[in-house]
Amino acid sequence: MTYEQARTELEQYGQEHLLRFYGELSEAQQEALLAQIDATDFSILRYVKDPHQGLSFGKITPLGAMELPEIEARREEFTQAGLEAIRAGKVAAVLLAGGMGTRLGSSDPKCMYDIGITHPVYIMQRLIENLTEVTDLAGVPVPLFIMTSEKNNDKTVQFMKEHECFGYPADRIRYFIQEMAPAADPDGRVYLEARDRICTSPNGNGGWFQSMKKAGLLDVLHAEGIEWLNIFAVDNVLQRICDPCFVGATIQSGCAAGAKVVRKAFREEKVGAICLEDGRPSVVEYYDMTPELLAANNEKGEPAYNFGVIMNYLFRESELERIVDEILPVHVVEKKIDHIDQNGDPVHPEAPCGVKFEQLVVDMVRELSTCLPFEVVREKEFAPIKNPTGVDSVESARALCLKNGIVL
Ligand code: UTP
């Protein structure tokens, strides 16, 4: 792309300021900036003005979960079915670790964060320990795919090398890199990250299967006979991964997917609740709950929308291939964005100062034909680390780890 072409392209989107420092750059830097402009989809900026994209809800109705008493009664049967699938090599794990973790505030990838008290206990270490419990029981390692972004891939891979993958067989781990999107101020003017680089950010966790496809990994899934993918977030340090009971229950249900869910602590709790939307699985966000939905009861007299998702899903691989090209909505999310100002000086904001554009896994759930909500005990399986202190923090996750007998 030439300078003139870049200018024309940027003018179309009101982004000419991105060439503000062009005249001061070296030839190589100029080329790099033009290449980045060429590769960036600026049309996404239209969502700043139209965050809802004309989307409207379908009819929301309850979707019952498989609850703890039934799971306990059938635990042995489900676990054996799950172990059988794992031993047959049909189940893989996918760690979604491409996020920037801006709320936590560390400049390293979140998986490198040390939550230890008396000795180092890294977030990644906790996840691998949890996965290893299952693979020890099964007697075989499961393939582990790790999604990173161009911002954190090198550090993540290096960190795993340095720690010898925390004992997990390195030849069973594969990395793939997700897509990026521009990051902008609240008016949709894209920030510069440096004089020769526009600000970009990972495009959310919803495009993970697309990114696997782009990375050529579907061939690997087919070659290895992988039929189920268990995706999970990096930040839940009590996460059960490829939990055989969950795997077995989902397979036996005949559903296209399973979603781990926790019972809401109270009706108004701020979690996305699993439901049906026009008869298909969906998640209704807490801010979209109408007073009627909040007050609705099921036949047992309990809240009808009582189970929140925790970003741990088991997807049937063939179902993912069916929906992989569906266009997911783009969410405009307020975040802290490091950038340079008009004078070229770096700005490290303390509070959200702009917007990023993300596709989300919950929107993928809306494309599924069927999904089994599978209840788990919150205190045993849900300790997300989003913030340094307070709710969903290093502090709260540490307390839950200690409660579960994990030495920190
Ligand atoms: P979060 O929604 O907590 O986002 O991600 P984040 O970017 O990591 O953190 P904040 O909001 O900036 O503080 C939930 C999960 O989805 C992954 C994260 O790594 C985490 O496991 N994720 C998020 C991606 O893999 N890619 C993304 O683009 C965003």
The CATH number covering residue 119 comes to 3.90.550.10
Asked whether the predicted pLDDT for residue 396 surpasses 80, the reply is yes
Cβ(101) – ligand 1 distance below 6 Å = yes
Grade residue 54 by pLDDT with cuts at 50, 70 and 90. low
Q: How far apart are CA 200 and CA 90, in angstroms?
A: 36
Instruction: Note the pLDDT of residue 56.
Output: 75
Asked whether the predicted pLDDT for residue 307 surpasses 90, the reply is yes
List the structure tokens of 212.
Answer: 């696997």
Whether residue 216 lies inside any domain: the answer is: yes
pTM greater than 0.85: yes
Cβ(62) – ligand 1 distance below 6 Å = no
Contact 14, 8 (CB under 8 A): no
Asked whether the predicted pLDDT for residue 246 surpasses 80, the reply is yes
Pocket test for ligand 1, best of 107, 235, 360 (most atoms within 8 A of CB): 235
Pocket test for ligand 1, best of 94, 96, 328 (most atoms within 8 A of CB): 96
Asked whether the predicted pLDDT for residue 87 surpasses 90, the reply is yes
Q: Summarize pLDDT for 252-289 with one digit per residue, the tens.
A: 999 999 999 999 999 999 889 999 999 999 999 888 89
Contact 208, 313 (CB under 8 A): no
Asked whether the predicted pLDDT for residue 53 surpasses 90, the reply is no
Instruction: Note the pLDDT of residue 140.
Output: 97
Whether residue 348 lies inside any domain: the answer is: yes
Radius of gyration of the chain (CA): 22
- As a whole number, the mean pLDDT across the chain is 96
Asked whether the predicted pLDDT for residue 349 surpasses 70, the reply is yes
35 CA to centre of ligand 1 in angstroms: 27
Q: How far apart are CA 99 and CA 118, in angstroms?
A: 28
97 CA to centre of ligand 1 in angstroms: 7
Contact 223, 89 (CB under 8 A): no
Instruction: Note the pLDDT of residue 121.
Output: 98
Q: Which atom of ligand 1 is nearest to the CA of 336?
A: 12
Enclosing domain of residue 353: 65-261+304-403
By DSSP bridging, strand 200-202 and strand 180-182 are antiparallel
Pocket test for ligand 1, best of 124, 151, 234 (most atoms within 8 A of CB): 234
Q: How far is CA 8 from CA 1, 29, 37, 100, 197, in A?
A: 11, 19, 11, 31, 18
359 CA to centre of ligand 1 in angstroms: 11
Q: For the chain, how many helices (H) and strands (E)?
A: 15, 18
Whether residue 320 lies inside any domain: the answer is: yes
Q: How far apart are CA 150 and CA 201, in angstroms?
A: 9
SS3 assignment, position 120: coil
Q: What is the mean pLDDT of residues 96-111?
A: 94
Whether residue 11 lies inside any domain: the answer is: no
357 CA to centre of ligand 1 in angstroms: 12
343 CA to centre of ligand 1 in angstroms: 31
Grade residue 57 by pLDDT with cuts at 50, 70 and 90. confident
Grade residue 387 by pLDDT with cuts at 50, 70 and 90. very high
Q: What is the mean pLDDT of residues 388-397?
A: 95
17 CA to centre of ligand 1 in angstroms: 29
Instruction: Note the pLDDT of residue 237.
Output: 98
Please state the domain count of the chain: 1
79 CA to centre of ligand 1 in angstroms: 30
DSSP, residue by residue, 261-302: EEE-SSTT-SSPEEEEETTEEEEE-GGG--HHHHH-B-TTSS
Whether residue 199 lies inside any domain: the answer is: yes
Q: Which atom of ligand 1 is nearest to the CA of 104?
A: 13
Asked whether the predicted pLDDT for residue 55 surpasses 90, the reply is no
Whether residue 107 lies inside any domain: the answer is: yes
Whether residue 275 lies inside any domain: the answer is: no
Whether residue 287 lies inside any domain: the answer is: no
